[in-house]
Structure 1
């Protein structure tokens, strides 16, 4: 486990799925944790309650990641609540699996706004507070590096953008000792990508382990990157995908 005592982490889009697992793991490692969510107030409250029941400190703030003003307000609220912000986890994102030719402009805008624009907006807001030696971790995807899954053209393009954003920002903030890294999950069983969905079969077939991942498979990598032992890792895209890209 990483030693995150006295650190404050913000995990976006963390009312459920991978984000919720990350929030719980960072709290277990000693961090005070804030989560944002756009919907699912009860789900967000359950994440906070679980963390507090285990002896941690947590707060949930409603903020749509595509709303720049709401994101800035949420970041400011986190800093006001905990006094600082050391770790940002850009987890909020979405996919709309369908053939590209059938994808509407509205759907394309939604994926771009949340997966790319939301990442930019949140990171800009957080960087105003993150001190030297802080951590920025984004949740990309294995298909942002190697694409073999049908129906994810737009999604994979946005996750490719996350990878290059990570490399570029790492160069800019490196002199401050801030690390910027990208965790790239493979198929993980969540509400967004359930293991029994019609799109699951080709994803499952592409893995070396022949199984979907669990949210608990992703959270430890994020916790490691957030901790002191990962201080010399930056600009990296670390894939946790069951061998999908092997």
Structure 2
């Protein structure tokens, strides 16, 4: 993957569903650096004054943030309406929301399962559905969905979370096959062990081991490659970052 030119994403409008997520923040900052207009969502449970959101807000006209709980229809509508009102179009969609309950399969309640699916898969499904209305007139719209590899023992035991990630991959492959030929939709799967973790992570011993070398910026560079013209021939694929 070659370095992008300073204006590689100039005038492109990008929506990132979770700017408080370390990966979402890294993608937003890199896209803004290359000239994109960036809108990032964040969940109401996130601290609006957090370092991540504060850094995005400091970009001024290049970036804006939207508080929206996209696990429900009102939040999805708010997020997409903000993009429509500000720009009337959308070129790039990055779905990176990541919610993980602290419960093993044998103890998962229906409420916990429903919340896991709603926050991880349902939100992505309907954000994408609504976002496509703003992408249909764009020449080369691109979608990147970010999931976890679920390789740690704790995540392997969380079958609700694992199922949501598997659903996202299947959804992306189906989306890539069904959209018009000018669209591209791909998945970036993150094998964790370092800084590329979500604000919703439940601490466990594995997270305090020596980092594997993958951090949020590494993941963001792969995402930007898939959003760039260099990835024009790539569609419906899963890229592992480890």
Distance 1:99 1:126 in 2: 34
Q: Deviations over 1:204-244 (max 9, x none)?
A: 6xxxx962632112111111111111111110111102xxx
Cα RMSD (Å) of the superposition?
2.3
Which segment drifts farther, 183-192 or 213-222? 183-192
- The corresponding residue for 2:177 is 171
- The corresponding residue for 1:140 is 147
Distance 1:79 1:28 in 2: 22
Alignment counterpart, residue 193 of structure 1, candidates 179, 189, 201 = 201
8 Å CA contact 1:65–1:92 kept in 2: the answer is: no
Change (3 A) 1:136 1:200: same
Distance 1:193 1:69 in 2: 25
Q: Shift in Å at residue 165 of structure 1? A: 0.5
Distance 2:20 2:112 in 1: 22
- The corresponding residue for 1:160 is 166
Q: Give the TM-score of the pair, scaled to structure 2.
A: 0.85
Q: Shift in Å at residue 117 of structure 1? A: 0.6
Q: Deviations over 1:136-181 (max 9, x none)?
A: 11111223xx786543321111111111111100011142x11001
- The corresponding residue for 1:49 is 57
User: Is 1:94 matched up with 2:99?
Assistant: yes
Distance 2:96 2:68 in 1: 13
Q: Shift in Å at residue 45 of structure 1? A: 4.2
- The corresponding residue for 1:244 is none
Distance 1:60 1:77 in 2: 9
Distance 1:235 1:150 in 2: 24
Change (3 A) 1:111 1:215: same
Distance 2:101 2:66 in 1: 25
Which segment drifts farther, 56-65 or 38-47? 38-47
Distance 2:228 2:170 in 1: 23
